[in-house]
Amino acid sequence: MSSPEATASRLPLAHDATRHAPDAGLRAISLYRAVWRWHFYAGLLVLPFMILLAVTGGLYLFRDELDGLIHRDLKQVVAQPGPALPASRLIDAALAAKPGTPVKIITPATATTSAEVVVKTAEGRRSVYVDPYDGHVLGDLPDRGTVMWLVRRLHSLAEFGPIANGIIEIVGGWSILLVGTGFYLWWPRRQTGGVVSVRGTPAKRVFWRDLHAVTGAFAGLAIGFMSLSGMPWSVFWGEHVNEWANGTNFGYPSGVYVDVPMSNDKLSAANGPTAWSLEQAQMPTSTPPAAPVPIGVDAARAAVDALGLSPGYTLSLPGGPTGVYTATVYPDDVSLQRVVHLDQYTGKPLINMSYADYGPAARAMEWGISVHMGQEYGLANQLFMLALCLATVLMAVSAGVMWWKRRPAGGLGVPPLPGDRTAMRGLLAIMVVVGIIFPLVGASLLVMLVLDVLVSWRQRTARA
């Protein structure tokens, strides 16, 4: 597979194809050049971002391990033989350290994990970490203020606003195009090397060309999967597909709730990060009795525990008289995802749904997201995705070296125009399909088509 500059290094392959196959027609050569040219453009656009995605993504695969190490004074405790304190005691301890309104408590996932209480204070939302055995406050951070949350925001460019986040969506679409065109360029054409072996030495350009192509041949499909599975988080396509996927039943599958009053609040807004398939899900409401007496957080936690949610779940507190207790958990095993809403006065489950309740498309999407994040299959998943991140960096570096070694003086080294312009028709048809599926990518393709016409005109003018 090639990259932007990598593409530029493929011209000798085109020459090889004509030299070894003298019966190859102008159309075949033109198609190769057309694909090569657009592979170059694709790489030119996405190369810096692919490195950013690979580095931040590789780090985020080990978010629990790295956060546990970096913030070990806040997140790690010594396991005690006795039972943990009730949730109300942990919340009281957090409020004593950071006065405000409690929003939710994240229960310990293991015997050596602290509890996290999110409090809305005058200075903003704070995450207060509490030893679950003795109620000792370990410290606090801004909500979602860990190092790995910063890495996650950098990964999607969300740290820099929606426009930057939209750029990542375009990069995702172009990287899919990069994979497809890269496979076409790599496909064996009677050459004796560069298919599964690397020729030459690092001093030679062919070494970097082969390193780039062979790495892409082995990792390309998986990199394409990473790009596609990352699209649900995108600012335009992801949001609109999510709205479409959750266009009925308030984001819940039919049959999960029956005659349950619903509010206008969404699960993602009320409880923070949630499963992609439930971002549009609306919150149910509690019905206050004549003499409203809430059950309290301890009884709510006991009710959630009785329902068998996995350890480490988040228990969000009611936001008012009609609010509900909401327990959510998204463990490494995607099949254990659960969302439970409890009436704050009766403790009755208003909605109790799991991964099995999702529709087929939502289950597939959630599985892809889980694999993308390196969590579905444990350490093996993490290491495999890390290898793909390293392969992406290797391909980007080899593409840059390859282009540097063949770049023309004073020029970009854009691959030559195809002799037969009709060779572009099939490629344009594919671009149209991609543009319809991913509108932001389609808009960027149109921009690149205009720029390509201008570059072609300039090249013809220079030769005239």
pLDDT of residue 247: 56
pLDDT of residue 76: 96
Kindly give the interhelix angle for 439-463 and 424-437, rounded to the nearest 10 degrees.
Answer: 150
Domains assigned to the chain: 4-61+153-235+378-463 (no CATH), 72-145 (3.10.450.40), 254-357 (no CATH)
pLDDT of residue 272: 67
Which regions in the chain score pLDDT beneath 70?
Answer: 1-25, 245-259, 270, 272, 459, 463-464
Half-sphere exposure of 211 (CA within 13 A, CB side): 21
Q: Are 282 and 267 in contact (CB under 8 A)?
A: yes
Quick: pLDDT tens for 416-438: 878 777 777 777 888 888 888 88
CA dist 395 and 226 (Å) reads 15
Say if residue 312 is exposed, middle or buried (CB neighbours under 10 Å; 0-12, 13-18, 19+). middle
279: Cβ–Cβ under 8 A, 6 or more apart, which residues? Answer: 242, 246, 251, 266, 267, 268
pLDDT of residue 22: 41
pLDDT of residue 26: 77
Of the candidates 384, 360, 362, the residue with the CA atom closest to the CA atom of residue 372: 384
CA dist 209 and 215 (Å) reads 10
pLDDT of residue 220: 92
Of the candidates 456, 52, 3, the residue with the CA atom closest to the CA atom of residue 216: 3
pLDDT of residue 316: 95
Q: How is residue 163 written in tokens?
A: 């426009």
| Dihedral over alpha carbons 92, 93, 98, 103 (to 10 degrees) | -50
pLDDT of residue 464: 64
- The phi-psi region of residue 413 (left if phi > 0; otherwise alpha if psi is between -120 and 50; otherwise beta) is left
Say if residue 42 is exposed, middle or buried (CB neighbours under 10 Å; 0-12, 13-18, 19+). buried
Say if residue 62 is exposed, middle or buried (CB neighbours under 10 Å; 0-12, 13-18, 19+). middle
